[in-house]
Amino acid sequence: MRDDEEDVEGSGLSRRDFLKVGGISLTVPLVIGHRVVKAAGADVKVFGPNKVPIELTINGKKMSASVEPRVTLLEAMRHELDLTGAKRVCDRATCGACTVIVDGKAVYSCTVLAIEAQGRAITTVEGLMTGDKLHPVQQAFVDNDAQQCGFCTPGFVVASKAFLDKNPHPTPEEVKRGLGGNLCRCGTYMGVRAAVQQAAGAQKGGRRNG
Amino acid sequence: MRAFEYANPATKEQAVGLLSNSWGETEVLAGGTDLISLMKDEVIAPKRLVNIKGITELHGIATNIKTGLRIGATATIQDLLDNAIVHRTFPALWDAAEGITSPQIRNMGTVGGDLCQRPRCWYYRGGYGLFAKTEKGDPLVPGGDNRYHAILGNSGPAYFVNPSSLAPALIAYGATFRVFGSSGKRDIPAEKFFLTPKSEGEREYDLKSNEILTEIIVPMAAGARGVTYEVRQKEALDWPLAAASVVVNLAAGKVRSARIVLGHVAPVPWRSQDAEAALVGHAIDEKTAQAAAEAAVKDASPLSRNGYKVQLARVAVKRAILAAAKGGVR
Amino acid sequence: MADYKWPDAEKRTLIGKRISRLDGPAKASGKAKYCYDYNRQGLLYGKILRSPHAHAKIKSIDTSAAEKMPGVKAVKVIQGPGTEIFWAGDEIVGIAAVDEPTAEDAMRAIKIEYEVLPHHVIDNDPKSTPQDLLKPSGDQTTGEPDKAFGDADVVVEGQYGQPVITHCCLESHGATSEWTDDKSLLVHVSTQNVSGIANQMAGVVKVPAANIHVQQDHIGGGFGSKFSIDRWGNESALLSKMADGKPVKIFLERSSELMVAGARPSSYAKVKIGAKKDGELTAWESESWGTGGIGGGGAPPIPYVFNIPNQKRKNTSIANHIGPSRAWRAPNHPQACLITMSALDDLAAALKMDPLEFYFKNMELTGPRANVYRDEFKIGAELIGWKQHWHQRGDQTEGPIKRGLGLSLHTWGGLGHASDCDLTINPDGSVELKMGTQDLGTGTRTTLAIVVADSLGIPMDAVKISIGDNKYPVSGGSGGSTTIGGVSASSRRASVDALDQLFAKAAPALNAQPGDLESVGGAIRVKSDPGKSLTWAQACGKLGGLPLTVRGKNPGPGNLISQGVGGIQMADVSVDIETGIVKMNRMVAVQDCGLIIDLKTAESQVYGALIMGICSALYEEKIMDQNTGKMLNPNMEFYKLAGIGDIGELMVHMMTGKGYDERGPIGLGEPPTVSPGAAISNAVANAVGVRVPYLPLTPDKVLAALEKKGGANHAGI
Ligand SMILES: Cc1cc2nc3c(=O)[nH]c(=O)nc-3n(C[C@H](O)[C@H](O)[C@H](O)COP(=O)(O)OP(=O)(O)OC[C@H]3O[C@@H](n4cnc5c(N)ncnc54)[C@H](O)[C@@H]3O)c2cc1C
Ligand code: FES
Ligand code: FES
C-alpha cells in the first residue's frame, strides 16, 4: 500500500478503511470485488481484503466461490465446494495430506491461495476415478493395504499419481524419494511402496513389475 | 492469518509499484511455501501480497556460453533439477536442490523464494521476533533450546541460521543476484546479498521492501568441480543440520582455486576463506580435506546445546571436498 | 447347545485369509467422510482461544469486541477469571462464526489478562524439579536385592529413557455438534469410543444421554488419545446451543493438537543390574522418573517381562506444566521395555554374550510365554540373519558407517471387551450387523464382515456392516487391543445363533432336522446329503414376513477368546559415527495374536507399529522450553516423523496355526508398538560400541555418547 497510490475504480475503499479491515475492528461492510490502482503507469487490479468471486477449474469442472484472498485452495475446496478428499493436517506445507495436482504438478493445497489457483487445471483425489472405477493407483492402494486410518491416503494417492506420471517406471529407491513429501502416522509406507510398484506395473499394461 | 489484499501484476515495474516502501506493509508472494506459513503463524501480517509468478520475465532458466546461467527468480527448485546444464555444469547447485526432498516443495518453491525465505528459528516462528527475545528484552536462544542454531557468526543478536540450501552453492559458483526496484536494477554478488541483521527492522538480505529479486546469474564454471554435501537426519521433509558447498578448480592435480561455503551454521551462508586457503596449492586427499575442514570450523563458538553441529559442519566440509576431488563433474 | 467354537482351519472360508479392507475404496477415492469432513447445513466454524502461559491465573476476560463483530454467532468463556491454568494451550474462550477467517479475527479481538505464575515444563532430573511437583513412591523390594548384587559376578549400571512424545493424529481431535431440536443433539466426533461419548456429554450439555446421537464413519487416527469428548467437544455443543442449534465444527489446529490433545509420559531410569558369570539374571535396582503433565507420569512396569528374582525399585512422578498425558498404544510398556531391554543388553555386552543366547538363558523368567518367545526368536533370527550379522559390541569394520543388530521382546493382554451386536437376517436374504464400535483403521469393519460371512457361509459382500453410531448395540472403546476379541466373539455368537434359528425354519423344507444342516457357499444343505439344499435366499424366504434379529454378546474369556500375547523384534541399523546419524536397514517383527481374522490387515498393524516405533526411536520429542513454558515444536516440521524413505525394509511374521489359532482372536494394536525403541537402541549400541542413553537417537546424543566413550568420532575426522 503506497500513500501515493491512486484508487481508480472499484470499492472506493480508502487506505484508511483497509487498515481497519486488516485489523480487528471489522466495521466496513463486506464488499465483493476488486479495485484498480495505478502501478508503473498501468491499471492493476487489487483484490480483497474482503470476499471476492473466484472461479476454479477442478477435475475438469468450473466451480465458483466467494472467498477472501487469505483463503487457501484447500480451504476453498473443503469449505466452499465440499471437496473434502484433500485433508488439512499440518496446514504448513510439511505433511502432504492436502496434495492436489495443479497443471500437472503435485502441490500442497494448504499453501496455495485459492485466488492464485484460478485459471489452473486442478486435479483432486475425487477426480481420479473413471465413473465407478478406481484409478489404477487407487486400486493398488486398496490391493496392497496402503492405508489404515486412511487420513493420509488421498494425499498419498494424488502424490503417487503425479509421481508416476512423471516417472512411470520407478525403482524402489526412486519411490522412496519421489513420495518424500507425504507423511503417514499409522505407518502404511510398506503398503504404499508396494502399491506404487503395482500401479507402475499396471500402467505398463497390467504386468506387475514387468 | 490476517486479511490482506492481493495483486497479480504482469510486469516487474508494476510489482515494484505495488510494494510499500516500508517493511511490514506488503510482501512478495512467490511459491508461498514459506510466506503463507509465516502469515498463518502471524509472524508477519502484511496488508497486501504481490504475486510475482505472473511476471513472465522472471520465469525460466537459460544458458549463455558467455554470460552464464540465468535463473529467473520464479524458476522452481524442480526447474533447477530438470535442467540438464545445471545437472552437468553446476552439480553443487543441483545437489543442493536435490536435498530439498519434498516433490511438492520443489514444484512450488522458487529459487528466489528459497534465497529470501525467513529463518526457521523456533523462537522466531513462535512469535518472539527475529532475535528471539522475551518481552523484557532477554535473548531466549543462548540459554534456551538452541540445538538447531548458529555455531558461527553467532555473537548476537542474531542466532538463527540462514535456511537456504541453494545460497551456499550459488555463492560457491560466484553468482550475482539481480534486484529490481523503483530506481532500476542493482547487481549484488551473491555473497554480499546475505546480511546479519542488527536490529529487528532489518532483513537477512540486501533488499528493500519495494525491491524484488529478479534473476540469478551464475558465470559458466567450465572445468570446475562442485559438490554440496548435506548432513540430514531424515530423508524427507527435513532440514540439513549442516551443509557445505564446495567448488574447486584443479590444475595438475592440485587445487588452483576453491570456494567453500557452509550452510545452516550461521545467520548467513558462511564462506570460509580459511578453509579455501588451506586447500589451495595442495592435492586433495584425506589430510588436506581434513585440514580444510578444521579451518572451516576453527572459529566456531557453539551455544549450550549445539556443539555437535561443529562436528557436523566439519564432516560436511571434508566430505564435500573429497567428493569434489573424486567427482564433482558429470 | 450351539457350537460357537471357531471353525477348524480346513473349514475356514475367509477367516485367516488375506483380505483387502472393505472401506479401502472409499478411503483411496477420497469419498470416505471423516468427522472433520462433514459440512453440515448452516455450518459454523468454532475456534478455541488458548492460554499462552504454562501456569497462570486468569485475571479478566473481555469478549465484547468479538461479540460485536459481524459473522460471530457465539462467544463463550470456558474458564473464567480466577481460574488457575496449568499448561500452555488450555482452553479459555470458545467462538463460533460463519467462517474460519471471521472466527480467527474474533479470537484476536478478545482481551485476556493473566497473572503469570512460575512454571516448570522439563523433566530431565527430579533433583532440579521444585519439591512440590515431585511424587515419589516408596522403595519397592522383592527378594534380597542387596545380597543378590553382592553375590553377582557382573553388575552393570546404566541410564535409559525417553522424553514425552505426542500422538499427532493426522485427523486432529474435534467434533461437529448440532441441535436437531431443543432437546436433541447430533454429534460427529472423531473418537475411539462411539458408545461412550453420549454419557460423557449428557451432564455438561444438560440433556439425557438418550437424546445425544453420536456418529462417526471413519477416524483419522487415535492411538489412545481419543476416548473422551474433551472440553472442545462439549464446547461445540454449547456454542451450537447459543447459535440456535446450528452445527458448530471445532477441530484442533495442528499446534493445539500437538500441545494439548495427547502426550505419552516420559520415563527415565537409573538401573543397576546383576548376573552370574553364566548369564543368569539375579538382581535389579532402578530409580525411575517421568512426567505426563500436571498429573505426573505413570510408573512403568520395570523390570519388564523378565521377572528378576531380587529387585529394588523406586519411581518418582514429576508433575509439570505441559499438556496432559493420555493413553498411548500399550501405556507404559514401551518405556518399561526400553529401560529393561537396554539394561539387559548392556549386561549381555558386559558378559560378552550374544544377547539372543542371554535371553534364552533367562527365558524362564518371562513366565508363561517362554516357549512362544523361543519359537519367535528362532524365526526372527532366521529372517534377519542374526548368526551371520551379529557381532560383539562395536562394529570393527573400517570406515565411519557402523552396523549393528539389536533385539527386544514384549507382551500384552488384549482381551476382548464387552461388545454387543444385532445381527439381522432378512427374508430377502440380506444380512446386516449393527454394532456401536468403530474402525480405527485396524480393519474392524472388515473383520466383522469376515466373521459373519464365514460363520453364515455366505460371501462377504452379502453382509452389511453398520458401525460408528451410538444407536447401535453398545461396544467398548477401541483401546488396549480389546476390539478384535470383543467384536469377533459377539458377532460369531450372533451368527451362530442366527444360523441355528434359520436352520430351524428351513429344516422342514429339506425334510431334515435343524441340527443336520450346514450353510456352505451360499447354500443351506443337509450335511449327510449335500444334494438336498436351498439357496441362501430360498432359506431366508422361510423366515416368513419378518426379519430375524439376534443379539450377540461377548461372554468373556472362554472358547472364543483369550488374552496374553508375546512378540519379539530385531533391528538392523547403520550409524555414521562421524555425524551420529542412525539409519534403519531392516527390522523384523514376529508376533502372536491368537487366531488371525484378516492376515492382511493384521500384518498392516504390525508394519504400522514398527514404523511408529522407528519414529519415536529416532525422531520424536515434545520439546519444551523452560524459559517460555511453551512447546517449541508444535508443528510437523520439527515434531519429526519418519517418511517413506526413513524406515528401511520391514519384515513381519505372524504366528499362526496350532498353539495359536485355538486361543481365538487377541488384540494387536498394542503389542508390536512396545519393542521398537528398545530393539533400535540396542542395535545402535551394538553398532557403535556404546549405549546412547536416551531416545530419540538424534545426532547430538549419538555423538555425545561416542565422545564419552573416547572420541571415536574423531577417529579420522
Ligand atoms: C518441510 C520443509 C522443508 C524444507 N527444506 C528445505 C531445505 O532443506 N533447504 C532449503 O533451502 N529449503 C527448504 N525448505 C524451504 C523451501 O525451499 C522454501 O520455502 C521455498 O524455496 C521458498 O520459495 P517460495 O517460492 O515458496 O517462497 P515464498 O514463500 O513465496 O517466499 C519466501 C520469502 O521470500 C520472499 N520472496 C520470494 N521471492 C522473492 C523475490 N523474487 N524477490 C523478493 N522477495 C522474494 C517472500 O516475500 C517471502 O518473504 C523447506 C520447506 C519446508 C516446508
Ligand atoms: S496440510 Fe498441507 S502439507 Fe500438510
Ligand atoms: S493411514 Fe493413518 S495416517 Fe496414514
Q: Does residue C145 have a cis peptide bond before it, meaning omega lies within 30 degrees of 0?
A: no
> Which candidate from B7, B13, B107 shows the least CB-CB separation from A106?
B107
Residue B228 gets the label, from left (phi > 0), alpha (psi -120 to 50) or beta, of beta
B247 in any annotated domain = yes
Give yes or no on whether A52-127 and A136-201 have one common fold: no
The residue count of chain B comes to: 330
Q: Which domain holds residue B50?
A: 5-54
Average pLDDT over chain B reads: 96
Asked whether residue C585 falls in the same domain as residue C548, the answer is: no
Q: Which domain holds residue C91?
A: 41-117+168-260
Q: Which residues of C310-333 are buried (b: 16+ CB within 10 A; e: fewer)?
A: bbbbbbbbbbbbbbbbbbbbbbbb
* CA separation, residue B176 to residues B247, C46, C272, C284 (Å): 16, 49, 61, 65
Burial class (CB in 10 A: 0-12, 13-18, 19+), C360: middle
The CATH class of the A52-127 domain is alpha beta
C272 in any annotated domain = no
pLDDT at A24: 34
β-pairing verdict for A52-58 and A42-47 = unpaired
Ligand nearest to the CA of C168: 3
pLDDT at A204: 56
The candidate with the shortest Cα–Cα distance to C108, out of C157, C54, C162, C72, is C72
pLDDT at B211: 98
SS (H, E, C) B234-260: CCCCCCCCEEEEEEEEEECCEEEEEEE
Q: Does residue B157 have a cis peptide bond before it, meaning omega lies within 30 degrees of 0?
A: yes
Which grid cell sits at C692? 546412547
Helix H or strand E encompassing C376: helix C370-384
In sequence order, what DSSP letters do the residues of C279-331 get, joined into one string?
A: --EEEEEEEEEEE-STT------SS-S---SEEEEEEEEEP-SSPPP---SST
Ligand 1: does its nearest atom lie under 6 Å from the Cβ of B321? no
d(CA C298, CA C330): 12
Burial class (CB in 10 A: 0-12, 13-18, 19+), B155: exposed
Q: How many independent structural domains does chain C possess?
A: 3
C538 in any annotated domain = yes
Among B35, B54, B73, residue at a domain's last position: B54
d(CA C659, CA B153): 65
C126 in any annotated domain = no
Query: Could you tell me the maximum CA-CA distance found in chain A, to the nearest angstrom?
Result: 66
Instruction: Parse chain A into domains and list their residue ranges.
Output: 52-127, 136-201
The DSSP secondary-structure symbol of C167 reads -
pLDDT in tens, A131-163: 999 999 999 999 999 999 999 999 999 999 999
Among B15, B31, B54, residue at a domain's last position: B54
> Which candidate from C30, C105, C254 shows the least CB-CB separation from A126?
C30
Residues 106-165 of A with CB under 8 A from B: 106-108, 110-113, 115-116, 159, 162-163
Task: Give me ligand 3 centre to Cα C686, in Å.
Answer: 32
Question: Which residues' Cβ are closer than 6 Å to ligand 2?
Answer: A 88-91, 93-98, 108, 110
The candidate with the shortest Cα–Cα distance to C449, out of C4, C17, C5, is C17
pLDDT at B221: 82
Asked whether residue C334 falls in the same domain as residue C251, the answer is: no
- Which single residue is written with the C-alpha cell 548384587? C149
pLDDT at B208: 96
Among C507, C527, C554, residue at a domain's last position: C554
pLDDT in tens, C236-264: 999 999 999 999 999 999 999 999 999 99
Ligand 3: does its nearest atom lie under 6 Å from the Cβ of A151? yes
Q: What is the CATH number of the domain that holds B31?
A: 3.30.43.10
* Strands, E assignment, C562-605: 565-576, 581-592
Task: Give me ligand 3 centre to Cα C133, in Å.
Answer: 37
B235 in any annotated domain = yes
d(CA B262, CA B241): 11
Q: Does residue C696 have a cis peptide bond before it, meaning omega lies within 30 degrees of 0?
A: yes
C454 in any annotated domain = yes
Asked whether residue C434 falls in the same domain as residue C349, the answer is: no
Q: What is the CATH number of the domain that holds C481?
A: 3.30.365.10
Helix H or strand E encompassing C605: helix C599-618
β-pairing verdict for C248-251 and C263-264 = unpaired
Q: Which residues of A27-54 are buried (b: 16+ CB within 10 A; e: fewer)?
A: ebeebeebbebbbbeeebbbbbbbbbeb
Q: Say if CB C30 and CB A86 are below 8 A apart.
A: yes
d(CA B190, CA B92): 15
C279 in any annotated domain = no
pLDDT at B223: 87
Residues 6 or more apart whose CB falls under 8 angstroms from that of A2 comprise B17, B18, B19, B20, B21
A142 and C25: CB-CB below 8 Å? yes
B63 in any annotated domain = no
Asked whether residue C502 falls in the same domain as residue C430, the answer is: yes
In which band, very low, low, confident or very high, does the pLDDT at A19 lie, cut at 50, 70 and 90?
very low
Average pLDDT over chain A reads: 87
B212 in any annotated domain = no
Q: How many independent structural domains does chain B possess?
A: 2
Does A20 have pLDDT greater than 60? no
pLDDT in tens, C603-639: 999 999 999 999 999 999 999 999 999 999 999 999 9
Identify the closest residue of chain B to A108 by CA–CA distance: B104
B chain contacts of residue C109, beta-carbon cutoff 8 Å: none
Burial class (CB in 10 A: 0-12, 13-18, 19+), C531: exposed
C317 in any annotated domain = no
Q: What is the CATH T-level fold of the domain A136-201, as seen in this structure?
A: DNA polymerase; domain 1 (1.10.150)
3-class SS of residue A157? helix
| Count of C-beta atoms within a 10 Å radius of residue B22 | 13
> Which candidate from C168, C440, C612 shows the least CB-CB separation from A149?
C440
Residues 6 or more apart whose CB falls under 8 angstroms from that of B314 comprise B293, B294, B296, B297, C717
Give the CA dihedral C538, C542, C546, C547, nearest 10 degrees: -60
- Which single residue is written with the C-alpha cell 536490529? B199
3-class SS of residue C36? helix
Looking at residue C351, its amino acid is L
Of ligand 3's listed atoms, the one at least distance from the Cα of A149 is 2
Residues 6 or more apart whose CB falls under 8 angstroms from that of C597 comprise C15, C16, C447, C450, C451, C484, C488, C665
Between C599-618 and C676-688, two packed helices, what is the crossing angle to 10 degrees?
Answer: 50
Give pLDDT < 50 ranges for chain C. 712-717
pLDDT in tens, B75-125: 999 999 999 999 999 999 999 999 998 999 999 999 999 999 999 999 999
In which band, very low, low, confident or very high, does the pLDDT at B222 lie, cut at 50, 70 and 90?
confident
Does B229 have pLDDT greater than 70? yes
d(CA B7, CA B29): 10
Of ligand 2's listed atoms, the one at least distance from the Cα of A95 is 4
Which grid cell sits at C208? 439425557
Q: Say if CB B124 and CB B118 are below 8 A apart.
A: yes
Q: Which residues of B96-130 are buried (b: 16+ CB within 10 A; e: fewer)?
A: bbbbbbbbbbbbbbbbbbbbbbbbbbbbbbbebbb
A chain contacts of residue B235, beta-carbon cutoff 8 Å: 176-177, 180
